[in-house]
A and B are shown apart, each in its own frame.
Chain A
Amino acid sequence: MGAYAAASFVAWFAAAGFAPWMSIIALFMASVAVAALLAPLVERGLLRVFYGRDEVLLVLVTYALFLILEDATKLIWGANPYFVSAPYALFGNVQVGEQAYVGYDFALVVVAAVCGIGVWWGLNRTRIGKVVLAVIHSAEVASSMGVNVSRVYTFAFMFGIFLAALGGALTAPMISVQPGVSVSVVIVSFAVVIIGGLGSIEGAAIGALIVGLARALAVHTWPPAELFSIYLAMAIVLVFRPEGLFLRVKARRI
């Protein structure tokens, strides 16, 4: 959804005659638009009913949402491909040894790092962050202390959607945006979160690195394994750390 929105926003910006570098702003605005539109609709309308229920139900609900959004994007944007090439050429090329790289890839790494640190800082170092963490730990206690839990849920979900849409928007310039791009992301995001351990930002960062490196390693050393390198990495981590790498210690129950 983020990628498609980015395609439209960059096109509108270009049509309105903005300078090419403005297309980066278009990407961010596209993500905000998706978050603002989609998040309240989905969270209030649907997910609210399932809070506190078995988490497997939530996985199924999001799977159903995935099916619906897949066709929704097709109805809105049609089946033909979109190219969002303006931002891609903005950062020129970089010669590293005899390999030529596109500046955009490095910019992407920087943006990812900034987002990661930003979210970490937001959660652990600001008042709102503390409130969100409190709600995650136990909603009842937080609400008894006067926290409007439902608004925190909506805000947290919207921010999550914004980051996901931003991911789509930033990838859009590198690929041809068309039906079917979304399938591969689902499993990779599962793998990253599970390897990293639920609810831990450092975990997600490390998880993403592991998944990325596993894939790259497979491509360079043993190409046939590329297909299931991610799942192998996920299985191996789960075998040794059943709760993922960074999960918080659980209190003893008796």
Chain B
Amino acid sequence: MSPVLSAKSLSKHFDGVVAAEAVTIAVAAGERVGLIGSNGAGKTTFVNLITGYLKPDAGAIELDGRDVTALGPREIERLGVARSFQIPQLCAEMNVLDNILVAAACGGEALSFWQPAHTAQTRERALALLERFALGAHAERRVAELPGGIRKLLDIAMSLTRRPRLLLLDEPTSGVSVEEKFPMMETVMAAIAGETHSEGTAVLFVEHDMEIVTRYASRVVAFYSGRVLADGAPATVLADADVRRHVTGGQI
């Protein structure tokens, strides 16, 4: 079966700074890929290229074999690509439930002028999703009053409302305290498992914490100054000499 995502020799330069150089990666359904690399290595740029926020200078992006290089964020999302944000992008004045309802409405077919947003059916489906993220209790609370960890979870939950084929998590555990990190990732991975397509959602997550990467990634891609340094099983990539020198700095 063709890969869910295939990036072919993508490159992107910002007046002299090499953000991406000949990046070629293919991701199949069900894979859990960790993207590691120091700050400015090109991880977030890669995510922004995949989601259409940035246009590559060269190379192509394919989703299920279809070229989407020229499409904008909205069209790409409709093709089943969802992303969460390093800094949670939420609607602060609205409550948690409404945020989920917004996500559900935006992904739906045509936005209706008169179909009420709050119906028994839409509420029930949204609450189910929140339960899966252990956010049920916060449904009526205003987002502005929520602590960092909860906001992170909500941000990821919103990207899951449309059962995406490819999910991009941008540093899911950044800004979350050490004790909460693992329970949060457990919840997220369990929720993703519960929500997926028949063959399972492909997940790419940008992460600095190597313990998270080794535990949750089935495969790791290491970036360094815009290039792919190594791509393979977590153990082999983390043991690679270049990766140790440029990325992990001998952490393990």
Contact = CB atoms under 8 A, between A and B. Distances in A.
Contacts of B89: 254
A180 to B, nearest CB: 43
Interface string B17-50: 0000000000000000000000000000000100
Contacts of A254: 48, 53, 85-87, 89
B89 to A, nearest CB: 7
Contacts of B48: 254
Interface of A: 254
6 contacts: A254-B48, A254-B53, A254-B85, A254-B86, A254-B87, A254-B89
A254 B54 CA distance: 12
Chain B: number of interface residues, binned into ranges: under 10
A254 B85 CA distance: 8
A254 B48 CA distance: 9
Interface string B66-100: 00000000000000000001110100000000000
Interface in B98-155: none
Majority SS at the chain A contact face = loop
Nearest to B170: A254
A102 B86 CA distance: 64
A22 B86 CA distance: 65
Contacts of B87: 254
A254 B86 CA distance: 8
Nearest to A254: B85
A254 B53 CA distance: 10
A5 B86 CA distance: 57
Interface string B170-182: 0000000000000
Nearest to B86: A254
Interface string B157-195: 000000000000000000000000000000000000000
A251 to B, nearest CB: 13
A36 B129 CA distance: 61
A254 B89 CA distance: 9
B194 to A, nearest CB: 28
A254 B73 CA distance: 14
B144 to A, nearest CB: 16
A217 B178 CA distance: 68
Contacts of B85: 254
B59 to A, nearest CB: 21
B5 to A, nearest CB: 20
A173 to B, nearest CB: 52
Q: Would you list the 6 A-B pairs with minimal beta carbon distance, nearest first?
A: A254-B85, A254-B87, A254-B89, A254-B53, A254-B86, A254-B48
Contacts of B53: 254
A69 B87 CA distance: 46
B28 to A, nearest CB: 27
A250 to B, nearest CB: 15
A110 to B, nearest CB: 42
A254 B47 CA distance: 11
A254 B171 CA distance: 13
A144 B48 CA distance: 34
Interface string B47-63: 01000010000000000
A254 B87 CA distance: 8
A133 B86 CA distance: 31
A192 B86 CA distance: 40
